[in-house]
A and B are shown apart, each in its own frame.
Chain A
Amino acid sequence: MSSPTVRWVVRIGSLTAALVAWQLLTAADVRLWVRFDQLPTAVEVAERFWAAAQTGEYYQDLGSSLGRILAGFALAVVLGVSSGVAIARSTLVHDILQPVFEVVRPIPAIALVPIAILLFPTNEEGIIFITFVASFFPIMVSTRHAVRALPTSWEDAIRTMGGGRRRVLVNVVLPGALPGVFSGLSVGIGVAWICVISAEMISGQFGVGYRTWQSYTVVDYPGVLVGMITIGLLGWLTSASVELAGRRATRWLPREKQS
């Protein structure tokens, strides 16, 4: 594991090997208890992918899924960070919000689909709501932990310079909690993505999840795999963007080995 070039070769090699294995297993119709003869081949899926990428529908689906995840996630960031900070900094807010959160938190967001359908006039809002709930909790919890773990000397320093609560919040709490907040955002964007897709499969109109499920109901297996790969790529893209933003925002942390 020496030079970066070698490491990149290994990474790309690993992906290629997985694709080749898929192609070989499906093309040869291997049946070893697991039945690869039912699965479309990698080449079929690639052709299908290419065809889909020429249609407007594919991009419309991408657009609706991305729009939903961004709306839900943005809401979760704003409310998750602010309530996490408030719970960590104020016993009153803690006592008001914490009991409700503790009861709601263990419910898987996707189990809220019936409630979302009852609450919101359209499916669109329901899906955004579910995405929001899913990513809200990891963000809120890690913000709360990060704020509680701040060294007291930072706050004490600001206060003995004559700074008040606002100063402490702006100059210590928010920047100091940022690394913890970002680890919550990483988890949050992951579950947000899972929930967008699942919710779309149940109640969507348009969207990658909806399209994937549609393909399945009409026995279009290559179409299902195109959907799945799209989900994987978009999930990776959104997570990587959050990671990158996090690394940019916390350059002051002691350097650790980059992955």
Chain B
Amino acid sequence: MIDLRGVRLGYGRTAVLSELDLAVREGEILVVVGPSGCGKSTLLRALAGLLPTSGGEILLDGRPVRGTSAERALVFQDDGLLPWRTVLRNVELPLAIRGAAKAERRARAVEWIEKVGLAGYERRLPRELSGGMRQRVQLARTLAGTPRIVLADEPFGALDAQTRASMQRLLVKVWQAHPTTVVFVTHDVDEALYVGDRIAVLDRSGRVERIVESPFPRVADADTGSVKAEILSALGVMAEAA
């Protein structure tokens, strides 16, 4: 579905990624892990169309990606919610941008807020919610726009371990009900193994070091020992107590 061929990305003259080849399959959750600074976030911004490539090409269904579009939605670590809009009005935003009628907008937003478990919080402002709840709102907002591809940039990176685990379960549940292609960036290998179908491990220079199939995607408490060790060694980390 998405093909990256020899993609080179950079700000100014410094290259963040050079020569990246990667294919994303329709309907899968592809997790990208890599050392910090290897260009994972830059890659997502390029896929979203926010950053032009300085070499190679990004193809979506065979056509080069140019500019942003509602079919490629970005999910942020810092939630990206507009703080002056209520939960409801944040979730309505992608529908409003698409020009949906008011009644439809409202109905769809309410439905999504319910799906992420926030019914009753429609009128709250983001500042009145916890970090985990704000990420739920962001999930609802992203999916209310029915994108073809969700590009998630360490969405649970700033959450505490417990909230993070419950957000992972929610993501999996929602994804199973509404299968979408997802590119998910994280630096948490356990998260990668639980959430992903496949895990692309980038090396320090932003090249794909290897691609690992998750043995038990979305199975809670799976024994991922040997695969985890493989990913950790690809990342150049000593396999501590795998």
Contacts and interface: CB of A to CB of B under 8 A. Distances in A.
A160 B73 contact: yes
A254 interface: yes
B93 interface: yes
Interface residues of B, number: 27
Contacts of B48: 156, 159-160
Interface stretch (B77-85, B165-173, B203-211): B77-85
Nearest to B78: A153
Given A154-B82, A156-B76, A157-B80, A252 B94 contact: no
B50 A161 contact: no
B82 A160 contact: no
B73 A161 contact: yes
Contacts of B145: 161-162
By secondary structure, the A interface counts as helix
Interface in B136-188: 145, 147, 151
Interface stretch (A47-55, A60-68, A167-175, A180-188): A167-175
B101 to A, nearest CB: 17
Contact of B76 (A153, A161, A167): A153
Interface residues of A, number: 21
A110 to B, nearest CB: 37
B218 interface: no
B78 A157 contact: no
Interface of B: 45, 48-50, 68-70, 72-74, 76, 78-80, 82-85, 93-94, 97-98, 125, 127, 145, 147, 151
Interface of A: 151, 153-154, 156-163, 167, 171-172, 175-176, 178, 250, 252-254
Given A151-B78, A158-B97, A159-B49, 13 more contacts: A156-B50, A156-B76, A157-B74, A157-B82, A160-B50, A160-B74, A162-B94, A163-B97, A167-B97, A176-B82, A176-B84, A252-B127, A253-B83
The 3 closest A-B pairs by CB, nearest first: A162-B70, A252-B84, A153-B80
